[in-house]
Every structure is written in structure tokens, then in C-alpha cells.
A = this chain, B = another copy of it.
Amino acid sequence: VEILKNRIIRDGLAVGSEILKVDSFLNHQVDVTLFDLIGAEFRTRFDDVADKVDKILTIEASGIAVAAFTAKYFGSVPVVFAKKEKPATMTDGYYFAEVMSFTKRTMSAIRIDRKFLKAGERCLIIDDFLAHGQAALGLVHIAAEAGAEILGAGIVIEKEFQKGGEKLREKGVRVESLAIVEKIENGEIFFKV
């Protein structure tokens, strides 16, 4: 966790009071050594439920690599990533949730093929960011529709001031965030300690 926080401070860029740019190691360029450490840390956080995890859920695109490295620490369970576009090859039924992007001010949809999420499956959500929580809430919605159980959500960076974590916790989701940003002010990043 300290490695991650130091990396955010060193390479992250605060834009205004809302945006934290970490594209040099997390969501455009990817540091796989760091991702491996992140996977190990999620295992530690969710060690009490590790035996129960049937599947890891995430959302394309930047969630995929974190989720895949995390899966290795949970017995290499399958990773299912929700898609943002309807692929030409997604011909069967799928679960669907609407997601609002606050940064882009657009609505979009995420989809998971019904084949890959079944009633009774116990899932861990893994994602790189938790901001307003729309994407994660979309996954929670899809899981409920499928009758799957969410064991928890593992987040690399939670921006606490955008309330996504609060919303998830209100829905009874256990949230484990590796770095929690309390506020961004004058280009400085303040972590919750």
C-alpha cells in the first residue's frame, strides 16, 4: 500500500479538484510489477473469503489487467469483464446495466453475457478506480439480476469525496480500497490515513 501511495504521489497528476491522472502506471501504461503486488494485497485483504471466490468481475478496459493479476492469487478463478460496447459476436442473452460517466457526462451501458454469470456464483469485484461508483454499482446490479453473490469489491484507488464507496457500502458491499484519496487541492493529493 505504501508503494502504491508513493507511486501515486510521484507519478500521479491532480487535475482540478476532481481528476487524478495515473495513466503512466495504471490505466494507459501499465506497470505489471506493481499489478502483481496489488493482486497479492487484494488476496491479503480478502483472505477470509478467498476459498469462496468463484469468479472475479471487472469492467473493460483498465480494470482487466488488475483483475487478471488478482485472479492468480485466488486460485486462478475466471475473470469476467463487462463490456461497454455490444460486440457483434454477443448474440445470446446478456445482463445489462446503465452507467453514467460523470467525467464525460454521458450514459453508457455495460453488459455481461448470461453464460458467464450464474445464480449462486460468488464474485469479487476488482477495479482500478472507484469514483462516483457508477461502474461498480452497475456490476452489483448485474450480479443481483443474475442471482450471483458479491463477496466484496477490491479497488486500487478510491476517491472518497466522490461518494462511490459510500453508495456501495450502503448497498451492503464490503469495499477494500488500497489507496483512499480524501481530497485533491491545489494539485496536491491527500490520502486518508
Contacts and interface: CB of A to CB of B under 8 A. Distances in A.
Interface of A is mostly: mixed
Contact of A61 (B29, B60, B76): B60
Contacts of A89: 15, 19, 21, 23, 103
Interface centre among A19, A64, A91 (most CB of B within 10 A): A64
Copies of this chain, count: 2
Contacts of A29: 78-80, 113, 116
Interface in A127-168: none
B30 A91 contact: no
A41 to B, nearest CB: 17
Nearest to A15: B89
A179 interface: no
Contacts of A65: 64-65, 68, 79
A96 interface: no
A6 to B, nearest CB: 18
Contacts of A62: 60, 64
Interface in A71-86: 71-72, 76, 78-81, 83-84
Interface string A25-44: 00011111101100000000
A115 interface: yes
Given A24-B115, A88-B104, A32 B81 contact: no
